[in-house]
Structures are given as C-alpha cells and as structure tokens.
Amino acid sequence: MPVPHQQSPVLILASESPRRKELLRRTGADFLCVPADVAEYSEGDIPDELPAKNALLKAEFVAERFPEHFVLGADTGVFSGQKMLGKPADHEDAVRMLSALSGTTHRVITGTALVCRSRQIKVVWSTVSYVSMGVLSREDIENYLRCVYVLDKAGAYAIQEHPELLKASWQGELENIIGLPLLKLNEVLKSYQIVKNQA
C-alpha cells in the first residue's frame, strides 16, 4: 500500500471492499485504500445507528495514521425488524438469514463517515433503502447460494447479483444497498473539493 505524500490531501477509503471501490470510482475521486482493522459494533441501544457508528469507527482508525488526509468509512447493515443481520457464519447461517427475509420488506442502512483530523472535519450520515423479497422456498434459497458467494455479505445476499432469484425489488438508492450511497457522497466530496463540479 503506497503511503500518501503529506503535501496535498488525498482521499483514503478505509476498506478493501471491491464493491465500495467500484462505487467510489464512479464519483471521479482519486483515492487509496487502507483497510480499518477494528472490531465493529454489532449491537446497541438504537440499532439503526450502528452502521454510522461503525463507519465513523473505521474512518477514525485510519485517520489516526493519516491525519492530513480525508478518510472515508462506510458500513452497511441489513435489518430484519430491529435486528441487524451481519455476515453469515456458514452456509446454514446464510439459509437461516434468507429464510427470515423471505416474503418481507426490510431496511438496508449504510452509514458513511468522512474525516480529516488536521482540519477537524467529521461528517457522518445514514442512508436508508428498502428491499422486498418474494416468498422463497428452501430450493429457491439453495439455488441462489449456488450462484452467489454470500459469506462476505451482510444479510447473506448481494442485490446486484441475480436479484431475480430472490424475487427482489427495492425502493431508494440501489448503490446504498450495494454499499455506498453516491447521491449524498457526491455532494460531500464536492463541498470539500475532493472531486470537482462538472463544467
């Protein structure tokens, strides 16, 4: 991982997620990746706030090493009722999660944080989208799991990979469900001139 030069601020993504890297490239920002090695929050008094707390935790961990630079942290939670579903531990855990989501509409919340310690900048926000899944049989679920690797995905699915197998539809920003809400992020990056307004 190249160490940023200290002369000019750069953007650092506190993640190695291929999905987040791909989404962040769409903003036109130049960035480096430095993953945050932190123990994420998995429960709290207000579950909806967990993704934002985790996003800030990741951003501040990396910003401590690179105080002159902007650091972007993000965390996506899939919520079944008030319970946040993490990444499945194994195949049967994935089956259990998808069975719980079958025939329901659930929330996907991505917390996003932009931090620059030297400038005392800390911007944190949450974005909510909704995913509806059809009624899924065990065969439907097993068919999906044969097609999509889910052990690294919260809620045991990726909306961008074969949503038809989950009979899935959504409301809100698709990129938020994938892992990085670009509408607000673009505004924030432009406000700090990390990306330029288009002429």
The verdict on residue 148 lying in a domain is yes
Whole-prediction pTM value?
0.90
The verdict on residue 111 lying in a domain is yes
The verdict on residue 197 lying in a domain is no
Instruction: List active site positions.
Output: 75
Per-residue pLDDT of the chain (199 residues; tens, 9 = 90+): 555 554 556 899 999 999 999 999 999 999 999 999 998 877 777 888 999 999 999 999 999 999 999 999 999 999 988 889 989 999 999 999 999 999 999 999 999 999 999 999 999 999 999 999 999 999 999 999 999 999 999 999 999 999 999 999 999 999 999 999 999 999 999 999 998 765 4
Reference 157, options 82, 93, 111; nearest CA is 93
The verdict on residue 20 lying in a domain is yes
Is residue 132 within 8 A of residue 170, CB to CB? The reply is yes
The verdict on residue 3 lying in a domain is no
The verdict on residue 110 lying in a domain is yes
Q: Which domain holds residue 107?
A: 11-191
The verdict on residue 124 lying in a domain is yes
Total number of domains in the chain? 1
Which CATH number belongs to the domain containing residue 146 in this structure?
Answer: 3.90.950.10
The verdict on residue 199 lying in a domain is no
Q: 147-153, long-range: CB within 8 Å, 24+ apart, which pairs?
A: 150/88, 150/94, 151/87, 151/88, 151/89, 151/90, 151/94, 152/87, 153/87, 153/88
